[in-house]
Structure 1
Amino acid sequence: MSTPFTADAVEAIKRHMNDDHADDSLIIVRGLGGRPDARTALTSDVDAEAITFTIDGGERVRVPWGQTLTERAQVRKAVVLLYREACDKLGIAARGEH
């Protein structure tokens, strides 16, 4: 698991995801992480290949980006793509698409 991100960048991404996008993380885990019954999902790691969530207080679920990220600026777009793909798979409307 390589990462183009500094430790500070990973911590900032995790904090942002957990503070502002916990519901989106849960949708990603349910739709793309193979855990449709998950109740909670916290971002626990980010690297060039995937985002990792800790669900329901313990199990770690890794969801691949679908491409190798080379810079921090790509994370936002990659998360949005995962979120939209998960919504499609779960048959729910993504925010802004109601």
Structure 2
Amino acid sequence: MAHTFDDGTLRGVTGHMNNDHSDDNVLIARAFSPLADVIRAEMVTFDGEAGQWHVITADGSEDVIRVPWPGGPITERPEVRREIVALYDAACARLGVTPRPHS
């Protein structure tokens, strides 16, 4: 069973992703969604095995995608950032986009 994070961690991470990294959400969704033409994506939750994004396409189709963490299962909040950055880098590689530097 996947590790579950407390509500504060879930709200903190998803709020940060949706408020400060909305373009990264779309990039991750475009790279990993089975739907074509993703125009919006919002991180809705995550657990120790994967992150989940609600995606909307240009034609109005909607889905929730679950994307496994590249480094495998996690259990600690700092690992969430590491894995989201790894997903962003993997999405850039899949889409042929130059990733921005990480601070």
- Residue 84 of structure 2 aligns with which residue? 79
- Residue 89 of structure 1 aligns with which residue? 94
1:39 aligned counterpart, secondary structure: strand
2:39 aligned counterpart, secondary structure: coil
Which protein, 1 or 2, shows the higher relative CO under an 8 Å CA cutoff with sep ≥ 6?
A: 1
Q: 1:7, CA displacement in angstroms? A: 1.3
In the comparison of the two structures, how many residue pairs are matched? 97
Q: 1:5, CA displacement in angstroms? A: 1.2
Alignment partner of 1:60 is 2:64: yes
Q: 1:31, CA displacement in angstroms? A: 1.0
Give the superposed CA RMSD. 1.8
The correspondence of residues 29-48 of structure 1 with structure 2, limited to 5 A, is: 29-48=29-48
Q: Find runs of 4+ consecutive structure 1 residues off by over 4 angstroms.
A: none
| TM-score after normalising by structure 2 | 0.85
Between the two proteins, what is the percent identity of the paired residues?
Answer: 35
AA matched with 1:65: W
Q: Structure 2: which 5+ residue stretches go unaligned?
A: none
Q: Structure 1: which 5+ residue stretches go unaligned?
A: none
Q: Matches of 1:86 and 1:44 in 2, distance apart? A: 18
Q: Render the CA deviation track for 1:18-37: whole Å, top value 9, x for unaligned.
A: 00111001111111233341
